[in-house]
Each structure stands twice: as C-alpha cells, then as structure tokens.
Structure 1
Amino acid sequence: MGCSICPGDQKFQNVVLLSISFMLVFTAFQTLINIEQTVLTSVQIHDATFTGNAYISSAIVYFFFSLCNWLAPPVVSLLGPKWTMVVGSVIYSVFIATFLWPNTTLLYTMSAVLGFGAAILWTAQGCYLTLSSSPETMSRNSGVFWAILQSSMFFGNSFVYWQFYGSKEISTEMRQIVFSVLTVISVIGICCFVFLRAVSPFRQEGDPDSDLNLRVIRDSPVDSMTKSFRLFFTNKKMLLLSVTFFYTGIELSFYSGVYSTAVGNTSTLVEAKRLVGLIGILVGAGEILGGASFGILATRTVKFGRDPVVLLGFVSHIVAFYLIFINLPNESPLRPIESTAAASYLNPPWVGFLMLAAFLLGFGDSCFNTQLFSILGNLFPESSAPAFALFKFTQSAAAAASFFYSSKFTLMVQLSILVVFSILGTLSFFIVEWGEASRSHATFDAVISEDNDDNEQLLPEEGEEEE
C-alpha cells in the first residue's frame, strides 16, 4: 500500500511550515518596526545619552538590504535555501534582542547587519517557495504564504495593544517585557526553519530535463551573481516590474513605520500610543484577508488574470491615502502634535477612518505582493533566486529612500509621492501581465492549430475510400 500523502501534498506542507516559520520571526520583527519610534522616544526620556532614531535605523536596514541582495543568490547557492533562511532568521533574533539594552552605536551597527540577514532570508524564501510550487500552484502557495506571514501583525500588535493599555509613555520595565517576549517568539521561528525539508522541483512527466529550477541551487556563486546582473539590465519585463517593486517599497515603509508614528504623535487622539498597536492589528487583518482571498481562492479570484487584483489594491491604497490626508496633521510624521493649531482637516480625527485606512493599506499591500510573487515564479522559473533577489533589491532600496525622506518630508508630500508611484507601478504591472497573457494565448492558438493540422493529415483525401 502506497503512502497516503502524495508528493504534491508534501510540497504544500513545506509551504505551510515555511509560512509558519516566517510568521513567528515576523511576529517579533514587524511588531518591533511598528512601535520602534514610539519606544525609542520613550528611551530618550529616561536616557539622555541615547540618540537612536527609528527612521535612521530602518533606512540603514533597507539600504544594506538593497546592496546585499546582489550577494544573496551566491549565498543561497552555497548554503542552500533552508540553511540560508536559518542564518538570516538568527540575525533577526539578535537584532530584536538588542532593544533590551538600548545603545545608539549597537542599534545602527545591527541595523546594517540586519540588512544582510534580510537579503539572504527573503531571497532564499523566494527560491524555496518556487521549488515547492508548480505553475498551477504558484498563485495558491504565494497567497497562503502571504496570509500566514501577515497574521504576524495581528498577533504581535494585539500583545502590544494590551501591554500599552493606559500608557502615555513606555517604561523601561514595559519595554523589557515586550522585547523579551518578542525575542523568544523569534527563536521559536528559527527552530521551525531547522525542521524544513529539502525540496526538489516539480518535473514535467516524462521529461527528466524539465527541472530547470535545479539550476537555482546548482549554480556557482559567480554564476548566480552574473545571472542577477544580466536579468536586471537586459530583461524588459524585469525592468517594468521594477517600477512596481519600487512602489511596494515606499508603501511598505509608510504603513510599517510612518503611519503608526504619525498616529502616535497626534495628541488630539485619545490614547494615541495604544492606537499604534491597533493600527498594526488592522494592517495585519487586511494583509490576511488579501492573502487568503488571492491565495486559497486563487483559482476563482485570478481566473481573469492578475491585473484585476492589482487594480483592487491600487483603489484600496488611494482611498486609504485620502482618509489619512484628512485625518492626520501635516507635521505628524515628524514630531508630536500638542497644539490644536496644527490639527487635521477633521478635528478631532475620526478614529474609525484611521482604522479603515490601516485595513486598506494592508489589504492593498497584499494585492500587490501576492501577484508579484505569482508572476515572478511563473516568468522566471529558471532564475527564481536572482528574480526574487532583484525584487527585494528594488523594494528595499525604495524603502531605504522612503525612510530617509520620512524624517524630513511632511505628510502631504509623502502621500503625494505614494500616489504618483502607485499609478506608475500599477500601469507597469498591467503592461507585463497583458503581454504575458497575449503570449499565452498565442501559444495556445499555435498548439490548437498544430493539432488541427495533424488531424487533417489523418483524414482521407476527397475521392479516397476509407479502408
């Protein structure tokens, strides 16, 4: 009697365990990013020697993240996807633990190291996900991964929401409790990475040479880096998608760091510090709903292509940006707003609108990212590690730039930049998706035509008798 679990089921189990591993590590990390500036401001109240800034820290992380993405494919080739993810997740845990002993030099040094860890972790993730998927299951697996990953925002920020209840500032004891818990959660995630199974790519039946994904892990480090440069500078589809990558980077920095900080700085809101946690919860809820809708139900939601999903994400973000624009003071990303003279268009701000905007930011982000994971896995199955490295290179470079200007630009300027690049990124994705759809239709028509020609050759000519 054969095994009750077919190879396809085992690969899906790999995707689920991969997703849970990321969910645990990022329960800790995404919660940290959401509250980082609020926490560091409180540290400065108790320690005058500490001058760390969350915007600068995040900018350093994403700057080194972008640079190190060029080194990531060789590391994946050397260590393999599984052990690369183990190393990357260890670096995340060490970074989180440093908040137990705040030190400006340590914060910025570990931010740079974390950039390297993030580059290898996410490149290995894209490689492992591609190796665990077939063209038919790529959309489903991408959505499942995204939904489980983003549930991390719900769990971590729920903990913060209750931990900060009734607090106007974060005490040393409260900070140590929060970051001790977050460090332990990230370590559990590392253990889950260790239990990931090695994967071999899906093969076309009867074609042992169809396993092009094997090149992802067989390439030498030099070949992997060369392939990354060639793919980035010579492939038109990758150049177009880079505009979409860039947009996801600047909106990532906005919802993960700028928006929550702006809410926490708005004193006209009741319990503004506590609302920071609630913002994270609702961003996570939007991410989970989007990932589930376009992953688990992928066969229904994307049967007309990926472009309607991306269009839905675009509309969600435009509505969110408008709600934020009318609800928060223009200077709120830069400093605490104590005076009603610097109030928003709606004074006091409507908390319900702020929560809806958080949900729409998360939902729209999942629309873009699930479809990018899907289209990259299908367009570049032979080069999944370089393709995902380039995705993260462009996204993280954009996030680094955004975090740098976030400490200088007002809310209106930042929202204007987001609107412009949301339009450009959506149009770029449409061009690639429509081109791919046209190519698929042309291939299908050619196959049908060839089949018809073969059938006509089998038919007797006019005047001939059938035997």
Structure 2
Amino acid sequence: MTDIENAAEIIPKELSFTSLTSENRSRTNSIVDSVAVDFYTSVSSIVPIVIHETNENDEHIKLFPIRQVYKNLIIISLGFLIMYTAFHGILSLQSSLNAKGNVGVNALIVLNIAILFSAIFLTGISTDVFGLKWTIIIGEIAYILYISANIRATPIFMYIGAACLGLASAPLWTCQATYLSCIARYHAHHKQKKVADIVSLFFGIFFAVFGTSTIWGNLISYFILNQSNNPEKFNCGVYFDPLSKNKTDTAPDVSNLTRYVLCGVFVGMGIVSMILLLLLDQIRPSKPQPVAQSLKRSLEVVQSLFRWKNIDQLFLIPLTMWTTVENAFLVAQFTRAFVTCLVGIRYIGLVMICSGICNALCSYIFGDLVKYIGRIGCFIIAAILNYASIMIMYFWKPLEDQMYVLFIIAGVWGVASAVWQSQVAATYTVLYSETDSSAIAKYRLWKAIGSLVTYGYASYITIELTLIILFVFLTVSMILYGIIEIHVRWKQHARQPDAIINQD
C-alpha cells in the first residue's frame, strides 16, 4: 500500500466525494477519470482521490453499519477482480486472436476514443442519473458485450462492443473510486479514524485484490489455448511485417470450439461479477447536478485543456504519451510479433503474467525508492531498462529454443512500466496540481492520444521501424523531462536567496 499512501500525501486534500458542490464535481471527475484511461495497464500505483479530513455535512449522510461497510468492500473488490480477470485475459490476445483484418487492434482504437469522450462528458451525468451502484452494473454489462463480441470477431460486432465498453468504462471507474471513498468515510466515522488514512487503506485492499486479475486472466487463456499452438515461425521478432502476405495477416490456428470455450468462460465470469455487484448497497452522492449543469462543467474541462498556465508542461507531453505508447506496444505488437509468431498464441498468457507480476511488485518498490533517488533517478532506471529491451529485440534473432528471452523482455518491460505508470502521474500532481486545476485532465488527454497513435500504426509498420520509433521517442521524452528538472531546480534555487532575505 506504499504508493497509495504516497498518493494521499502528494495530492491536495481539497474535495469530498460524498458532498461535492457543483463547482467541485467536474474537477473531481477529471482527477478520478485518469484511472479509467489506465484501466487496461496494471495496478494503479497512484490513486487519484482527494478528500477533506472533515465534512460539515456528515450529519446528513446515511451511514452504513460497520458490517455493511466490510460487506461492500469485499463485494466491490471481488466483483472487479472477476470482471477484470476475464477482460485482461481477452485483451492480451487481441492482436493475435483477432489479427485478421486487424479487427482486434482497430477495436482498441475505438475503445480509447470512446473512453476519452466518456471521461469528459458522461461521468457526472451517469452518477447523477443512476447512482454509484447502477452505473457500475451498467458498466459491467458493457464489458460482457465486448467479450461476447470476440465469439464472432466481425468488425461490426467488435467495434460496437468496443465503443460501448469505452463509453461505460470511465463512469464505472469514477463510481468505483467514489464508492470506495464513501464507505471509507463511513468506516472512519465508526472507528473515529482519519478519513485520509482509511481511504488509503481501502484503496490498498482493493488494488491488492484487483492487481492479481492480470495473472488469473492470462493463466486461464494459457490453459484453454493449450491445444491451439501452431506458431508461424516465419519472420518473427524484428523481421515481422504485419502487412506481409505470408501468414502474418491471418488469425492463428484457433478452432471455433476453442474460441467458444475461451469467450464463454470469460462471459460467464462477467455475469458472475455482475450478479455479485448487484449485492452492493446503493449510494448517491448528495446534491446531484442537473444534466445541463454537468454538460456545462464538461465543456469547461475541455476548454481548460487548451489553457497552459505552466509552459513547461508542454515538455512533459512526450513522456506522458510514452506511458501508454510503451504499454500499447507490449499488448498490440510484442505479443503478436514475438510471442505468437515464435512460440504460439497459448504462451501469450504466460509471458504477460511475467510482465504483470514484475509490474505489480515494482510499483510498490519504486514507491519507496523515489524517496531516496527522486523522480529523475527512477526515470533514468526505467529508461535504461527500456533501452536494453529495445536493443535486445532489435539485434536478437528469435529462435524457438530461446523462449526464455521472451520472459526476460516482458519482465524487464514490466519493471520499467511500473515507473512510468506511477511516477509520471505523480509528477503532474506534485508540480502542477496547485497552479493548474486541469493538470490531471491534460495528463489523461495525452495518455489517450499516446494509445491512439500506437494502436493506429501497430498494424501497418514493421517491428524494426517500431523499435526505432520507440528508441527515438523515449530519447526525446527523457531530454525534455531533463529540461523540466533543470527548470524546477533553478526556480527552487532562485527562491532560496529571497527566503533568506525575508528571514533577515
């Protein structure tokens, strides 16, 4: 729970989820929605929740009994674990299982566009209309529809399913964060504890459970696809060309029966998750806004994206985009060009498990390490790991009996990803949250653009060119971030003489 505790310390404690004013709610949604854009990555290392220590309206809140608080915490944690076990299992296979016509990757583009739209316009409206519980349930239905579309992965079904999922995911994650903070407040009221401490505790419990979903989802896909393992073994790795007519533009040899079993198991898990979440108690944040007011606030958020109070934020854009560029590469290109091509689709699950475990463990490790070596130290370590992985992929001639190299690359990439996913978000909150209320919204916007760009070219350029792009992109990102660090340290140094003069 280290990173979650750090998040509670570095983010300004300004808002309350259970008694939001109409002025504050749009900003709260903007902060919380950053989780939605990251929902397919790994354990969220920064929990964007901001609260008051006390709330003058607490006497108007209907508090749950302490047993009810525990019940709801267990239900929402297990419900999301089961749903995302299914979702992560099918997500890792998109570039390989649905390679024909690039339907899988194109659906991910549609998904990201819909997420961006829903994060800005739908989060406040859905909460006001349906309340927290039913917004989550509706979101679960969208996940089930997307997974069901993979049974017959035609473009029309996949794109509609991805659009529905994107529109539902941002409100779902906003309501998840709001719900947890509400029951944490109830628990703090009963136990006479600090609200911030209990919020950190509850989010720690939730993400500790939720973080294992990547492992279970990929493990299920590995066992179900056990008999579907006919690797191409043709121009794999750096030689892979997605536009080649030599098998690379076709789906792997997965029988219809195997596909039905795989999707059927995941759909069944989604239904179980939805039934479980029906047992949640309804919570409605007080003072819901009219729809017109919610839309007005959403437009204000959009307008704020084009106002730059800190010019050095522009230098942070490439590094922000890199946080999703590197993850999208792993999901859309590495799994197809290296894993499926060389050893077969069944091993995607095992390789992604390795990446997920390394990511989860190192998220917590770097949460502590940043105190000693700073953000720049963490970024340098992550960049070195990415550079090493890129060089290995570029110069390695893939051989089937060297499958262990795939696990090494995925694991190292997962370690680096743990740094990017947590510390870039922390950079925005530490440097800009007090002076720019739209800082997190900008962070979310550029992450979404990074995903769209990567998924957009993933099916049309060779892996050799992709690795060159990744190398150059990371280099530019690090140089520009270095300029930010120099600027920040210069400003801090410039303030010191003034502070000494004022003391005299």
Deviation at 1:414, TM superposition (A): 0.9
Q: Cα RMSD between the aligned structures?
A: 4.7
Determine if contact 1:34/1:276 at 8 Å carries over to the other structure.
yes
1:310-368 deviation line (CA, Å, top 9, x unaligned)? 322222222222222233xxxxxxxxxxxxxxxx3x54572122111011122211111
Task: Say which SS state the counterpart of residue 415 (structure 1) adopts.
Answer: helix
Runs of 5+ unmatched residues, structure 2: 1-67, 186-194, 231-252
Question: Structure 2 CA distance, aligned partners of 1:381 and 1:77?
Answer: 26
Report the equivalent of 1:401. Answer: 453
In structure 2, give the amino acid aligned to 1:226. E
Q: Identify which of 176, 191, 211 aligns with 2:260.
A: 176
Q: 1:380 aligns with which of 433, 436, 446?
A: 433
In the TM superposition, residue 226 of structure 1 has moved relative to its aligned partner by 0.6
Q: For residue 303 of structure 1, what is the aligned residue in structure 2?
A: 371
Code of the residue aligned with 2:165 in structure 1: it is L
Determine if the alignment matches structure 1 residue 280 to structure 2 residue 352. Answer: yes
Partner deviation per Cα, 1:201-249 (whole Å, 9 max, x = no partner): xxxxxxxxxxxxx99xxx8441243134314532336544332221122
The aligned residue for residue 35 of structure 1 is: 93
> What CA deviation, in whole Å up to 9, does each residue of 1:83-137 have, x standing for no partner?
6554434322221122234333111222223232334445666777899798899
Closer/same/farther in 2, CA of residues 54 and 102 from structure 1, 3 Å limit? closer
Amino acid at match of 1:91: A
Q: Which residue of 2 aligns with 1:152?
A: 213
Cα distance in 1 between the residues matched to 2:137 and 2:74: 16
Q: Which residue in 2 is equivalent to 1:339?
A: none
CA pair 142-430 structure 1, distance change in 2 beyond 3 A: farther
**Aligned twin of 1:95:** 146
1:458 counterpart residue number: none
Give the corresponding residue for 1:226. Answer: 300
AA aligned to 1:25 is M
1:317 to 379, 386, 391: 386
Partner of 1:3: none
**Structure 2 vs 1, CA of residues 154 and 234 (structure 1 numbering), >3 Å: closer, same or farther?**
same
Q: How does 1:324-339 map to 2 (within 5 A)?
A: 324-327=393-396
Q: Which amino acid aligns with 2:264?
A: S
Secondary structure at the aligned position of 1:234 is classed as coil
Quick one: structure 1 residues 227 and 262, their matched pair in 2 at CA, closer, same or farther if it must change by over 3 Å? same
Distance 1:316 1:52, change over 3 A: closer
- Which of structures 1 and 2 has the bigger CA Rg? 1
Deviation at 1:179, TM superposition (A): 1.3
Q: Which amino acid aligns with 1:53?
A: V
**Native 8 Å contact 1:11 1:199 kept in 2:** no
Distance 1:179 1:34 in 2: 13
2:364 corresponding residue in structure 1? 292
- Given that 1:56 and 1:404 are in contact with CA atoms closer than 8 Å, whether structure 2 keeps it comes out as yes
Output the CA distance in 1 between the equivalents of 2:476 and 2:281. Answer: 38
- Residues 324 and 450 in structure 2, CA contact (< 8 A), matched pair in contact too: yes
Distance 1:365 1:221, change over 3 A: same
Q: CA deviation at 1:283?
A: 1.5
Match for residue 324 of structure 2?
A: 249
With over 3 angstroms needed to count, the CA separation of the structure-2 counterparts of 1:181 and 1:359, relative to structure 1, is: same
Contact 1:142 1:370 in 2 (8 A): no
1:79-228 matches, cutoff 5 A: 84-122=135-173, 148-167=209-228, 168=230, 169-190=253-274, 195=280, 220-228=294-302
What TM-score do the two structures reach when normalised by structure 2?
Answer: 0.65
Please say if residues 135 and 175 of structure 2, whose CA atoms lie closer than 8 Å, have aligned partners that are also in contact: yes
Deviations 1:402-453 (A, max 9, x none): 1121111100111122122223334455555676678789999999998x78
1:55 alignment partner in structure 2: 105
Q: CA, structure 1 residues 14+259, in 2 after alignment: closer, same or farther (shift >3 Å)?
A: farther
Deviates more, 1:235-244 or 1:141-150: 141-150
Unaligned runs of 5+ in 1: 1-9, 45-50, 201-213, 328-343, 454-467
Give 2:433's aligned amino acid. F
- Closer/same/farther in 2, CA of residues 447 and 139 from structure 1, 3 Å limit: farther
- Judged with a 3 Å threshold, the aligned counterparts in structure 2 of structure 1 residues 12 and 428 are, in CA distance, closer, same or farther, namely farther
How far apart are residue 66 of structure 1 and its match? 3.4
Moved more, 284-293 or 113-122: 113-122
Structure 1 pair 15–227 and aligned structure 2 pair: CA distance change class (3 A): farther
CA 150–66 in structure 1, closer or farther in 2 if over 3 Å, else same: same
1:64 partnered with 2:64: no
